[in-house]
Amino acid sequence: MKRTVYRNARLLDPATGLDAPGGLLAENGIIADLGPGIANGATPEGADVVDCGGAVLSPGLVDIRVQLREPGAEHQEDINSASRAAAAGGVTTMIALPNTEPVIDDVAGIEFVARRAREVKTVKVFTHAAITKDLAGNEMTEFGLLREAGAIAFSDGPVGVSKASVVARALSYATTFGALLMQHPEEPSLVDDGVMNAGELSTRLGLPGIPREAETIMLDRDLTLVEMTGGRYHAAAISTAASVERIRAAKSRGLDVTCDATPPNFALNELSIADYRTFAKLTPPLRSEDDRQAIVEGLKDGTIDLIASDHAPQDQDSKRLPFAQAAPGGIGMETLLPLTLELAHNGHLSLPDALRKVTVVPAERMGLPVGRLAPGAPADLVLFDPGRPWRIDADALRSKSKNSPFDGRLVQGQVLRTVVDGRTIYTAPEM
């Protein structure tokens, strides 16, 4: 029997409200016991002992939106490199978007990801399946077969399905399988050739803008369709004050609706691209300071349910271009924890509430039995020092691509150890 005792920890489980000194016993990949009395007495025979030094021991992070780039663009990222990046960031479960080459729109695509994850054997890797074939927005995929094969939810990844009739059918059909539809709300006809938030700054920089209404128009339509069909819906990466209001109103009407925000949209604003910095070219675009503050308020009051990294690796050739031609997207798994902790350090959320948004809430919404510290639960753990300062250095990150919009940013909160099913898959270099 493989036993590991974690002693001298600050146990923090957002699912139960546990926040107390103590220890944890893992046996054969499962949490056997935890609490203040663990490891204060005799160590179980044959057990490995990890002294946590007073650091926080919490459930591993659950990232619901990751672009793996495998198959098809392995020069940007692959399942192995993404898994290493996730482990270094304290992410123990990640869910891949289907925008690979070929698109994950059939059972073979889901089985490929599952097989590669078993081979890599680092973090837990699941996948969303495409709503429409080839992400073309026209013909629906076989939801039943994909769900049976292991699809966690259905999404066309970084693009929204623009045809209302297709979304309505998808919402209705998904309810048959208890499945969730995840949309990136952005009306493509309004995006057109836009490359940043529309407004005074885009005019001054001479760059075509993406209006906030591109997001809210599709969101309004989708929420109306959710009300019509009774479907389950998740809005990905909302970025505007108006979107927060729409989600808040939909929840007040009792709709089965959730949403997430990404660190760039609560920690940065459009000024980050004032020098045509392509690493800050993202989807959705960085918005105004008023929008950023509204996203923070939505996280504070619970309108925004969870936080996702929206990890989108792009190689240097795709980013070292004039701003209008550069590819959008930024990597984010290795910086997800410290940027989420900024919400606690800045007094917007308590530490447990900040961690809720990257552990138990995404796990529950996606129907995964992870994200909590409890006897019988998988021993998926992250040990971190919430106050340890460090500077984000994109070149030192483990992702194949280095396109972090936070390069050079000073942050607090460093992962010391990451554990999946009782196996230590990452330790900080100094440990």
- One-letter amino acid of 279: F
- At 366 the pLDDT is 98
Whether residue 399 is found in the same domain as residue 268: no
194 falls within a domain: yes
- At 418 the pLDDT is 98
pTM over 0.75: yes
Q: Which residue has the tokens 């949209």?
A: 265
The β-bridge relationship of strands 18-27 and 3-13 is: antiparallel
Tokens of 425: 């898959």
46 falls within a domain: yes
Q: Which residue has the tokens 């918005």?
A: 287
390, 94 contact by CB (below 8 A) = no
Whether residue 277 is found in the same domain as residue 396: no
Average pLDDT over residues 386-390: 97
Whether residue 166 is found in the same domain as residue 200: yes
Locate the DSSP E strands across 134-276: 154-155, 181-183, 196-197, 209-210, 233-235, 257-261
80, 52 contact by CB (below 8 A) = no
Residue of 226, 237, 223 lying closest to 304 (CA atoms) = 237
List pLDDT tens digits, range 206-252: 999 999 999 999 999 999 999 999 999 999 999 999 999 999 999 99
Domain of 421?
Answer: 3-57+378-427
Whether residue 74 is found in the same domain as residue 50: no
265, 286 contact by CB (below 8 A) = yes
The β-bridge relationship of strands 124-127 and 257-261 is: unpaired
The residue out of 338, 365, 392 marking a domain boundary is 365
- Burial (CB count <10 Å: 0-12, 13-18, 19+), residue 200: exposed
List pLDDT tens digits, range 161-183: 999 999 999 999 999 999 999 99
Rounded-to-integer distance, Cα 356 and Cα 353, Å:
5
Whether residue 353 is found in the same domain as residue 219: yes
307, 348 contact by CB (below 8 A) = no
Annotate 240-288 with DSSP letters as a single string: SHHHHHHHHHHHHTT--EEEEE-HHHHH--GGGGTT--GGG--SSPP--
- One-letter amino acid of 360: V
The residue out of 336, 365, 394 marking a domain boundary is 365
Whether residue 234 is found in the same domain as residue 130: yes
Split into its structural domains, the chain has a count of 2
41, 316 contact by CB (below 8 A) = no
State the DSSP code for 261.
E
Locate the DSSP E strands across 271-408: 306-307, 381-391
260 falls within a domain: yes
Whether residue 186 is found in the same domain as residue 301: yes
The residue out of 341, 365, 389 marking a domain boundary is 365
List pLDDT tens digits, range 319-351: 999 999 999 999 999 999 999 999 999 999 999
- At 302 the pLDDT is 97
CATH of residue 33's domain is 2.30.40.10
Structure confidence at residue 402 as a pLDDT band (50, 70, 90): very high
| Share above pLDDT 90 across residues of the chain, in percent, rounded to a whole number | 95
Whether residue 223 is found in the same domain as residue 336: yes
152, 174 contact by CB (below 8 A) = no
List pLDDT tens digits, range 247-295: 999 999 999 999 999 999 999 999 999 899 999 999 999 999 999 999 9
Q: What angle do CA 274, 279, 284 make, to 5 degrees?
A: 85
Whether residue 51 is found in the same domain as residue 90: no
- At 360 the pLDDT is 98
List pLDDT tens digits, range 32-63: 999 987 866 667 778 899 999 999 999 999 99
Rounded-to-integer distance, Cα 130 and Cα 154, Å:
5
304 falls within a domain: yes
373 falls within a domain: no
Whether residue 165 is found in the same domain as residue 264: yes
Whether residue 387 is found in the same domain as residue 346: no
Tokens of 60: 């591993």
418, 425 contact by CB (below 8 A) = yes
246 falls within a domain: yes
223 falls within a domain: yes
Q: Is 310 a catalytic residue?
A: yes
- At 42 the pLDDT is 66
**Selected catalytic residue, list 78, 106, 156, 310:** 310
CA 39, distance to chain mean position in Å, is: 33
Rounded-to-integer distance, Cα 285 and Cα 197, Å:
6
Whether residue 398 is found in the same domain as residue 250: no
CATH of residue 111's domain is 3.20.20.140
Torsion of CA 183, 122, 14, 181, to 10 degrees: 20
- Burial (CB count <10 Å: 0-12, 13-18, 19+), residue 302: middle
370 falls within a domain: no
61, 90 contact by CB (below 8 A) = yes
How many residues are recorded in the chain?
431
